Amino acid sequence: MRSFVFVLALCSWCAGVGCSRTKTTGITVDRAFTPLISPETNLLAGFDLDDLKGTGLYQRHAQQLNFPLLDASSDRVGLDPRRDISKGVIAWNGRESVVIFRGSFKPEAVQSKLVSLGAKRNAYRSYTLLGNDKESLVFLKGAVVAAGATGALHAALDTQEKGAGEIPEELQERLRTLPKDDQIWFVSRGRLPFTESSMRSDIGSALSNIVEFIRGATAGVAVGDGMQLEADLTCISEDGAKRVRDALKGGIGLARLTTKDNELELLRFWDAFQIDQNGALVHLRADLAGDLADKMLARLPELRSRANHAQERAQ
C-alpha cells in the first residue's frame, strides 16, 4: 500500500522540474474525483502526468525515471506510474489525506498482485477495499483509484454515497487563478500541512516563524522546455506578509552565500527566484530555462545526498 503513495509522491516530485505559461487561467479538477472530496478539505494538490509527458523537459529526462525502485514497484504491483497513471489529486482535511487518481491500468491484474503481496479484501458499504486496518485503496468506476488511511478512505466513500462531495469555494477561487497549463499545483486555506511534520529542530523553528502568518496558499508549476514556478501566499496582515517575505528572501540569500563560486548552476538557480509583496500577499516566482533545468536535474542525486548528510550531522 505504501508503495502506491510513495510512487505517486515520487512522480509528482520528479515532475517538479517547465517554462512559459499561457494567460488562460482556471484549473479544472476531474469530475470523477469531486464526489470523493470533502467540503472540509483544507488543501488540494493535483498533477497531470499525461500533459507532463508531452513536454520537452520530460522527454529529455524520461530515461532518468527508469530506476530500480520504480521498476521493482511496477513488477510487484502491476502498475507503473510513468505509463499507467494519467492524472490525480491529493485532498487533505487537516488531519489525514486521500490520494485519488485515474489511469489506463487493469484493475483486476493490480488487485491480484496486491493480494499476492498480502493485502486483504475488506467490504465497506458496496465497495471492496484492499489493504489492512491502517491503509487501504479502492478501485472505482472509470479506472479511478482512491487510496489513503483506511479511516480517511471510509470518510471519502461516505462523502460520495451522500452526494456531498465538493471543492470548498475558497479553494475553488484559488483554482480559478492558476494558469490552465500548470501540470502540478496546490491550493490551501488555513494552516499548511507541514507545520506538524517531523523535521530538524532548526528547520522547524524557522518554518514556525513563517507559517503562523500564512492563512492560504496557491502554487503551480508549468513544465515545457524548462520550468516556471509561481506561488502566492496570503498572510494574516501586511506586517505578517513582510515577515514572510523577509524570511523567504533571507533563506534564499543564505543558500546563495553558502554556494561555492564554482557551482555556477546552483548560483543561477538561486538567482532565478524573485520574491515581492503586495499588501498581505507574498508572491514568489522562479523561471528556469531549459539548459538550467537540465543541469539541475542531473545534479539531483548529488543534492539529495548533500541534504541527507547535512541532516544526519545536525541530529
| pLDDT interval class at 201 (50, 70, 90) | very low
Query: For residue range 248-284, what is the model confidence (pLDDT) as tens digits?
Result: 999 899 989 999 999 999 999 999 999 999 999 999 9
Output the CA angle 67-69-72, nearest 5 degrees: 105
What would the grid cell of residue 220 be?
503551480
Strand partners, 124: 127
Does residue 266 or residue 72 have the better pLDDT?
266
DSSP-assigned states of every residue in 20-57: ---S-B-----TTTGGGS-TT--EEEEEEHHHHHTSHH
Return the beta strands (E) in the chain as ranges. Answer: 43-48, 85-92, 97-103, 120-124, 127-131, 135-140, 144-149, 184-189, 214-223, 227-235, 273-278, 281-288
Query: For residue range 75-114, what is the model confidence (pLDDT) as tens digits?
Result: 666 677 778 889 999 999 989 999 999 988 888 888 888 8
> Do you know the residue count of the chain?
315
Q: What is the pLDDT of residue 184?
A: 96
Q: Where are the domains of the chain?
A: 2-314
Q: What is the pLDDT of residue 306?
A: 64
Q: What is the pLDDT of residue 114?
A: 87
Q: Of 153, 147, 58, which is closest to residue 101 (Cα–Cα)?
A: 147
pTM of the entire predicted model: 0.82
Q: What is the pLDDT of residue 310?
A: 56
d(CA 164, CA 157): 10
Q: Which amino acid is at 203?
A: I
- DSSP reduced 3-state for 127: strand
